[in-house]
Structure 1
Amino acid sequence: MNSITELASPIAVDVYRQRRERVLAALRAQGGGIAVVPTAPEVMRNRDADYAYRHDSYFYYLTGFTEPEATLVLNASAKSGEPSTLIFCREKNVERETWEGFRFGPEAAREAFGFDAAFPIDSLDEEMPRLLADQPALHYALGTSESRDAQVRRWLDAVRAKSRSGVRAPTQARDLLPLLDEMRLVKDDHELSIMRRAASISAEAHRRAMRACKPGMREYEIEAELLYTFRRHGAQAPAYGSIVAAGANACVLHYPAGNAIAHDGDLILIDAACELDGYASDITRTFPANGRFTPAQRELYDIVLAAQHAAADATRAGVSFDAPHQAALNVLSQGLLDTGILDKTKFGTVDDVLAQRAYSRFYMHRTGHWLGMDVHDAGEYREADGPLDDQGAKPWRTLAAGNVVTIEPGLYVRASADVPERFWNIGIRIEDDAVVTANGCELITREVPVEADEIEALMRESNSN
């Protein structure tokens, strides 16, 4: 980066500025105070090599700033003419830039990202006691970092040390994250634009992996096709550790891509997607290594796909977050009975399967989660208030337009004497990303085939070239 004009468009800067104003307005409604949002620390990998740096999502959501060693401070009690948005960041350092690359420095960061004031990060401990003096409350991520909590105590102790001069420390400490979580749950147009692009890149990576896959390949070779595609199209990194599981490995939910060989007749389960400009995508596809589903594989695949269709049909604004999961469970449970994987003499109906949770042996996760800056994104799944259910849990929250969720049913059948042998060691999951709308949902990852016939056609086309 050669200049601050290469940062981003003014529209993007306005997006972050508007988010900060929303937080300030909410804090003023609570009586004011100071909010502190640090970015993530750098972490040593080994010896003198760091892990690849990734900013804190909350910090980035409010700033768009990706450098390490930075902290955002919001002053919701600022008087007219006083700064209400302050950034603390690294100073310019020509020597360090020779080794590590461009740094904005405080003044350039203030100008480029639209803050009211900027300070060197080394002055944070000096400035914070001044900023906290006579404030009614301190808002930050309570209890998430021992080092941050200790730093906050030092700031408060420094303020209290001036009590004889009439200076008062904040009398309240409030958790800032619930407010930010609620904001992050509903995506704006800027966010959805990035997420659609991330979804498109990830879909292309899955298509490439399907085309490249042949019996005899190792899992890590297939993973390489994914990683190449992510970076080739501008994604900064995978959104999470890629799962590439051949054969029985697909029955391990968080199996990392290893060195197992994809044999003729195996299914390959890939759960992998990229992160683009701070936003995750999340796709899972399951396909035959040789390009042809066996009858047993196809039977289970069609059940999982029907469950995903049912869950997608149940996803819309105004319904319970749990509704898509229940829709998928009904289809999966019926399928387990129809295939004989569950014994009808023991579980006669779908209601019996659901009541006894007999499906959980073969389907042990939920059908979706929030998606956004984090692959398992911020936000509560249950309401803060309301009557408790039979298990003592609070009610599920209601989906709203602009929420983004995954829809990912699956079946995982390990070898077992009480299961028909033709289904042994088959693991299938199908996952897409869905933007909730008023009347349904938009599946933004369907550029990669999902119907079994379409998958086979794509793989045949590749093999014929």
Structure 2
Amino acid sequence: MSLPVQDIAPFVERRRQVLRAMHARGGGIAILPTAREAIRNRDADYPYRHDSDFYYLTGFIEPEAWLVLIAGERDRALLFCRDRNLEREIWDGYRVGPEAARERFGFDETFAVDTLDATLPGLLANQPALYVPLADDRRFDLRLRGWLDGVRRLARSGASAPAALHDLRALVAEMRLIKDASEIATMRAAAEISAAAHVRAMRTARPGQHEYEVEAELLHEFRRRGSQAVAYNSIVATGANGCVLHYRAGDAVLQDGDLLLIDAGCELDGYASDITRTFPVNGRYSGPQRALYDLTVAAQAAAAALTRPGARWNEPHEAAVRVLAQGMIDEGLLSGSLDGVIESQQYTRFYMHKTGHWLGMDVHDVGDYRDPAAGGAQRPWRALAPGMVLTIEPGIYVRPADDVPERFWNIGIRTEDDAVVTADGCELITRGVPVDAAEIEALMRG
């Protein structure tokens, strides 16, 4: 069986970058396992998905694999993976095996994973520092303890265990925060697929359908266009369900006159997309729906205008909040001055989440939102930089209450796009699905 063509250069360079960072701290050894297979029930597994950090550094997607990096006089990148097994491959599919993996994925050495416990104590011996995922998996911690005990048993021959311990995931998170050209290209492709799925949902949704029927249209388009999975559980929420932030597609029936909020994105080659659109089931926004919908679009535009290099992480959110809070006052949802509503956080009654999050291999991707280089109890927000990818997703959620105008009851709206920070601003890569209310109505009529 031939392996799919894959450019290994980005993965090799990322491993070298980790090794350089380890050298800057005096060298050492890094150990990183991929994700475990998980039983769904009885003898049926959940669909397997690799560990994001592991894939980021290896490009390897099989389970039962381990990466070892050694920063020393001679840098070494090692992979431990499953041996070829023709009998198991009849049942479970092709395995790369150590021999093919060495050349295919650019490793210095590869070994059968069955040799891991016997090999690791010798590799750990006399290393100045150890880099592992800290407090990540109790079973891994126990296994690591066994390897370190093996090093101590070699003490008579002068071996010593690593004296320093570092969190490998924190190191890799800083790398993953800035996407390279290959990552952004993959994320663009994922965004195009997800946008097409949202367009399909707008064209096919109609009164009388169930939420799960619309979800099926999304899933069909994701897979039809080549994505491997959803990036997260799709939110398909009609009517009052749109006011539940993490609602799952259920069996509620789409009613004429209601809105449908869809928050859904696919995963393509390990990278997530994330889009939310809110549209009228019957193809036309009512007056109150249109007023609040246009408000979220204006808030998103204000946030996007401040999503640029040098801006702090919180600035787009604060811009969106000012637009939303003023709109809440104008529409009679809140009373008082704009500054007073913001200072008292009255607006959080109708807008209770942030305006975005990092996006990448994970839908809520890794990376500190505050400046990791700054000290003090309250570190400043991180400055945005080219190559960062984030969502911009303001919303408004109005539940029935005596002091809330009835015309707005049970309206839940969110507008979300994926933004790549560029040299002079940002690019919204998910605009393959319209966001303007008039354009959405025209698409639904067509």
Instruction: Tell me, yes or no, whether TM beats 0.5.
Output: yes
SS in 2 for 1:87: strand
CA offset at residue 199 of structure 1? Answer: 0.0
**In structure 2, C-alpha distance between the alignment counterparts of 1:122 and 1:232, rounded to whole Å:** 38
Alignment partner of 1:375 out of 352, 363, 370: 363
Give the aligned partner of residue 219 of structure 1.
211
Give the aligned partner of residue 221 of structure 2.
229
> Aligned ranges for residues 190-209 of structure 1 at < 5 Å?
190-209=182-201
SS in 1 for 2:367: coil
**In structure 2, C-alpha distance between the alignment counterparts of 1:326 and 1:378, rounded to whole Å:** 22
**In structure 2, C-alpha distance between the alignment counterparts of 1:419 and 1:168, rounded to whole Å:** 68
CA offset at residue 31 of structure 1? Answer: 0.6
Report the RMSD for the aligned CA atoms in angstroms.
Answer: 0.9
Give the aligned partner of residue 58 of structure 1.
53
Amino acid at match of 2:346: A
Deviations 1:229-272 (A, max 9, x none): 00000000000000000000000000000000000000000000
Give the aligned partner of residue 137 of structure 1.
129
**In structure 1, C-alpha distance between the alignment counterparts of 2:374 and 2:224, rounded to whole Å:** 48
Of residues 379-388 and 220-229 in structure 1, the stretch that sits farther from structure 2 once superposed is 379-388
CA offset at residue 385 of structure 1? Answer: 4.8
> Aligned ranges for residues 313-332 of structure 1 at < 5 Å?
313-332=305-324
Give the aligned partner of residue 125 of structure 1.
117
Give the aligned partner of residue 304 of structure 2.
312
Give the aligned partner of residue 347 of structure 2.
359
SS in 2 for 1:210: helix
Give the aligned partner of residue 37 of structure 1.
32
**In structure 2, C-alpha distance between the alignment counterparts of 1:396 and 1:122, rounded to whole Å:** 45
CA offset at residue 185 of structure 1? Answer: 0.3
Alignment partner of 1:431 out of 398, 412, 416: 416
CA offset at residue 20 of structure 1? Answer: 0.5
Of residues 321-330 and 169-178 in structure 1, the stretch that sits farther from structure 2 once superposed is 169-178
Q: Which runs of 4+ in 1 moved over 2 A?
A: 384-388
SS in 2 for 1:99: helix
Corresponding position: 1:93 with 2:93: no
SS in 2 for 1:324: helix
**In structure 2, C-alpha distance between the alignment counterparts of 1:36 and 1:166, rounded to whole Å:** 23
SS in 1 for 2:8: helix
> Aligned ranges for residues 243-322 of structure 1 at < 5 Å?
243-322=235-314
Deviations 1:332-390 (A, max 9, x none): 00000000011x2xxx21100110000001001000000000000010001235476xx
**In structure 2, C-alpha distance between the alignment counterparts of 1:402 and 1:266, rounded to whole Å:** 38
Amino acid at match of 2:209: M
Give the aligned partner of residue 149 of structure 2.
157
Deviations 1:135-175 (A, max 9, x none): 10110111111111111111111101111221111111111
**In structure 1, C-alpha distance between the alignment counterparts of 2:139 and 2:129, rounded to whole Å:** 20
**In structure 2, C-alpha distance between the alignment counterparts of 1:459 and 1:56, rounded to whole Å:** 39
Deviations 1:18-52 (A, max 9, x none): 11111111111111110011100000000000000
**In structure 1, C-alpha distance between the alignment counterparts of 2:372 and 2:358, rounded to whole Å:** 17
Aligned length: 446
CA offset at residue 394 of structure 1? Answer: 2.0
CA offset at residue 438 of structure 1? Answer: 2.1
Give the aligned partner of residue 3 of structure 1.
2
Amino acid at match of 1:250: G
Amino acid at match of 1:377: D
Q: Which runs of 5+ in 1 are unaligned?
A: none
Alignment partner of 1:70 out of 61, 65, 72: 65
SS in 2 for 1:72: strand
SS in 1 for 2:368: coil
> Aligned ranges for residues 450-461 of structure 1 at < 5 Å?
450-461=435-446
Q: Give the share of equivalent positions with the same residue, in percent.
A: 61
Alignment partner of 1:341 out of 333, 340, 343: 333
**In structure 1, C-alpha distance between the alignment counterparts of 2:214 and 2:385, rounded to whole Å:** 37
Corresponding position: 1:16 with 2:1: no
**In structure 1, C-alpha distance between the alignment counterparts of 2:19 and 2:371, rounded to whole Å:** 24
Amino acid at match of 1:375: V
Amino acid at match of 1:368: G
> Aligned ranges for residues 390-429 of structure 1 at < 5 Å?
393-429=378-414
**In structure 1, C-alpha distance between the alignment counterparts of 2:340 and 2:375, rounded to whole Å:** 26
Q: Which runs of 5+ in 2 are unaligned?
A: none
**In structure 1, C-alpha distance between the alignment counterparts of 2:166 and 2:119, rounded to whole Å:** 20
SS in 2 for 1:207: helix
CA offset at residue 326 of structure 1? Answer: 0.3
**In structure 1, C-alpha distance between the alignment counterparts of 2:223 and 2:91, rounded to whole Å:** 23
**In structure 1, C-alpha distance between the alignment counterparts of 2:247 and 2:378, rounded to whole Å:** 31
**In structure 1, C-alpha distance between the alignment counterparts of 2:156 and 2:149, rounded to whole Å:** 13
